[in-house]
Structures are given as structure tokens and as C-alpha cells.
Amino acid sequence: MVDRLGVGDAKKLQELLHQAYQGDEKLGIHFGATTVSYQGVIEHLKSTPTFAVKDGQQIIATVSVRLPWSNNPGPYALPHLGWVATNPAYQRQGKAKELIDWVIQEYVAKDLKAAAVSLGTALEHPWLRKTYQKLGFDEVETVRKFPDHQTVYLVKVLDEARYVKAKSIVSKNH
């Protein structure tokens, strides 16, 4: 069962993010979610659809969808997945994969009717890029936004014809 989180879930979400991203810190990769403040989580939840799988009241996996028209858009004019995290006690059980699949199919494709979805991760991370590629994401661009890592952006096309058409319209307007 997938739940949409609200501001009442902010404390539990903050705790999950801090726990889940500690492994990346040990690799020398700092993602903002590692140290996000409680107020930062509240602001995020107010403007960014955030979904979770729970075990009782405990959040075990989460993913957010940053919207192109929001105050925190992704790098492209596409929905952008972020704050992908799994409680360390539940890792390697496929919970985040199941949640990502659900969010893409039930929210991004069905509700938003988006032609594609993007996400970003650290190029230097030993396994995340490959995991996202197994989920159907393709690398599009690598940029250096932070001193400790390069960000690789990946896109999963959901409707090829609409995606190609949208890309050509954007290209003509720039």
C-alpha cells in the first residue's frame, strides 16, 4: 500500500532521510537530504508530492516527485524523482524499486500524463546508476553541481512519440 505523505509525516520522513543517506556520506557523497532540517522537510512536503510505503506507522521507503512548475523543479521540463530512500533495516528487499514503479505508473504516467520522468544521482556512487538503468532509465547528461560529486541525470521515457514531439518543440523555442 502506497501512502501520500503530508506535513504530519515530516518528523518521520526527516528521520528516514537522515538514516538512509548516511551510507552515501560514508562514500564521501553528500546529498542534501542527509542533513535536511525539519522545516526543510515541511516546506518540501507542502510543495512536492511525496509517497511512501509504510510498515504500520514507520516509513520504510519514500520517493518525491519534483514538478516542473513548482518552486523546486528538476533539471528538465519533466517530473523529477528525488529523495529516494529506504530505511536501512529494509534495504535489499526491493521496497524502493516497487515504490518507484508505482509512482511512475500511477502518478507520473496516469495522473500527470507525463511523457517521461527524470532523476539524478551521484556518478561516483558504486551502484545507484546501474540500479536506475535496470528500472528503464537512460543517462542523458552529467554535470558538476557539487564539489564532492558529479550528478548524472537519467530519463525514463513513458511515451516515445509524445516525448520526441515535446523535445522538438522545446528545441524550436530556444
What is the structure's pLDDT at 173?
39
**Domain membership of residue 129 as a residue range:** 2-172
What is the structure's pLDDT at 28?
66
Integer Cα distance of 54 and 71 in angstroms: 27
Integer Cα distance of 146 and 113 in angstroms: 32
Domains in the chain, number: 1
Residue pLDDT, tens place only, 29-88: 666 777 789 999 999 999 999 999 999 889 999 999 999 999 889 999 999 999 999 999
Q: What is the CATH number of the domain that holds 34?
A: 3.40.630.30
Q: Record the pTM.
A: 0.89
Cell numbers standing for residue 26: 560514508
168 class by beta-carbon count within 10 Å (0-12 exposed, 13-18 middle, 19+ buried): exposed
Integer Cα distance of 17 and 62 in angstroms: 9
Chain-wide mean pLDDT for the chain?
87
